[in-house]
Amino acid sequence: MNKKTVLNFIVLFLYFGLIIGVVLQLISCKSTGNNLITENSQKESQELQSVKNWISKQWPGNAATYKTTNSSVYLANLNSSIEVFNRLYNNQNKTSYGAQLASKLYLRYRILGDFNDATKALETIQTASQLSHTDANIHYTLAIIQSGFHQFKSALSSLETAMAMGGNNKQIALLKNEIRYSLGLYQPYDFIIKEPGTNNLTKAKYALLNNHFEQASHFYKNSMDNYNDTDPFKLSWLQLQQGIAFLRYGDPKTANLFFQAAHNRFPEYYLVTEHLAETEFLLGHLERAKNLYQLVIQQTNNPEFYAQLAKIESLLGNHQSSSKALLMAETEFDQLIELYPKALGDHAIQFYIDNQHFSTALNLAKINLDNRKNIESYELLIKTALANNDVKLACDTYMLALNYKVRPLEFIHLSNELSCENSPTNTQ
């Protein structure tokens, strides 16, 4: 895979992966707007059934439907290229080799989930950028990795540097728009849908942002139907996104079909394995879920997955194993958020709520919202405020979030269930 392909791929897929780790739950509070609840539930149910009717041998598809490179071959090639650029960079200390090494390390992190690859990528590209005053690509790559660490202001600054050095304006504009999306600076939905230059993946993202499940699924399906690449990671990612959409709309059984298809294509892709484990758990297949979580833990050492394993072990009556997994989750989370609170805090919030570390969760939710004021960050702070019995903060945050014109499913549920004095109940 050449440099341009790697960079284009990372830009296109980076931000869709950022929201995958947030656990979305409903908040129990005094119910208001019952008619609106019924109306939305009917809409969601109808769209869900409509999309399920599209499922066939071609969708989500299998190895016969979409022929791609074997995942083990793909990873072997990636590992080989990392070794080559690592050797070249160490021997010659050329910043261009550092950029190549960083981008490939970050890609491997996106696939395998080893956070050490991500931190090494960030360290490598930061060093290369400090030594380079003419190579726009180095600062562009720096912006990609900075944004992956939720260092959004720094990423925008790096993009400005890349542009001043004569970087690719189209690539820079695309990444800048993705960062603005992460910051909650949303474009109007009608503009996104009608704009000829907007790709299907961006349209799908905005459709879900505005609670249009069927339309989002149409864009994902269109991307799969027209897939003509041999890259197994991209296709597995597409299947993952559709599965996540089904999961968000309360259908783990159908989500499982897409996660299984994605897992069959790229079993080493950690987010696919984790989401497959989640649906197996929701479907009551505890031993299957346990085995998958153990597999992805061995690969990533991710504390989120330790926490999920602890729940399963407890349900299976393995209380000693549950306590051990829970301790590992807490230890790893504590270490990681101390180093990277902006990058990983949103992933840790639910864990701290579940384990009654309410003040820690609230602090992380505030840091997260301060760093990126998007609708998901408002939702997290509302939920965390309620866990801390701070209804005023929850309602104040909710009123601020109403200023956004977007209405994802989770925010509609919040609006229907959260009772705040003088707050409007119509969220349409």
The residue behind tokens 């349900």 is 315
What's the pLDDT at 420?
Answer: 85
Q: Within a 10 A sphere around the Cβ of 266, how many other Cβ atoms?
A: 28
CB 150 within 8 A of CB 371: yes
CATH of domain 340-428: 1.25.40
C-alpha distances (whole Å) from 194 to each of 182, 199, 226 are: 21, 11, 20
What's the pLDDT at 388?
Answer: 96
Q: Which residues pair with 56 in a beta bridge?
A: 59, 60
Q: Which residues pair with 59 in a beta bridge?
A: 56
CB 245 within 8 A of CB 275: no
Q: Output phi, psi for 56, to 5 deg.
A: -155, -170
Q: How far apart are CA 250 and CA 13, in angstroms?
A: 24
Q: How far apart are CA 54 and CA 122, in angstroms?
A: 42
Name the 3-class secondary structure at 214: helix
Q: How far apart are CA 427 and CA 416, in angstroms?
A: 8
Q: DSSP string of 40-102?
A: HHHHHHHHHHHHHTT-BTTBB--TTTS----HHHHHHHHHHHHHHHHHHHHHH--HHHHHHHH
> pLDDT tens digits, the chain, 428 residues: what are they?
444 444 444 444 443 443 333 323 322 333 333 444 455 678 889 999 999 999 998 999 998 899 999 999 999 999 999 999 999 999 998 999 999 999 999 999 999 999 999 999 999 999 999 998 899 999 999 999 999 999 999 999 999 999 999 999 999 999 999 999 999 999 999 999 998 889 999 999 999 999 999 999 999 999 999 999 999 999 999 999 999 999 999 999 999 999 999 999 999 999 999 999 999 999 999 999 999 999 999 999 999 999 999 999 999 999 999 999 999 999 999 999 999 999 999 999 999 999 999 999 999 999 999 999 999 999 999 999 999 999 999 999 999 999 999 999 999 999 888 888 654 443 33
Name the 3-class secondary structure at 21: coil
Domain range summary for the chain, segments of one domain joined by +: 71-185, 340-428
C-alpha distances (whole Å) from 55 to each of 250, 258, 382, 422 are: 17, 10, 36, 44
Hey, what CATH topology would domain 71-185 get? 1.25.40
Single-letter amino acid, residue 417: E
Name the 3-class secondary structure at 130: helix
The residue behind tokens 């066939």 is 56
What's the pLDDT at 424?
Answer: 44
Single-letter amino acid, residue 298: Q
Q: How far apart are CA 229 and CA 353, in angstroms?
A: 42
Single-letter amino acid, residue 182: S
Q: In the Cβ-directed half-sphere of 24, how many Cα atoms lie within 13 Å?
A: 21
What's the pLDDT at 38?
Answer: 55
CB 210 within 8 A of CB 406: yes
Single-letter amino acid, residue 129: S
Q: DSSP string of 218-230?
A: HHHHHHHHT----
**CATH topology match: 71-185 vs 340-428:** yes
What's the pLDDT at 24?
Answer: 30
C-alpha distances (whole Å) from 174 to each of 171, 202, 214, 236 are: 5, 10, 25, 22
Residues of the chain by 3-state class (helix, strand, coil), percent to 5 = 75, 0, 25
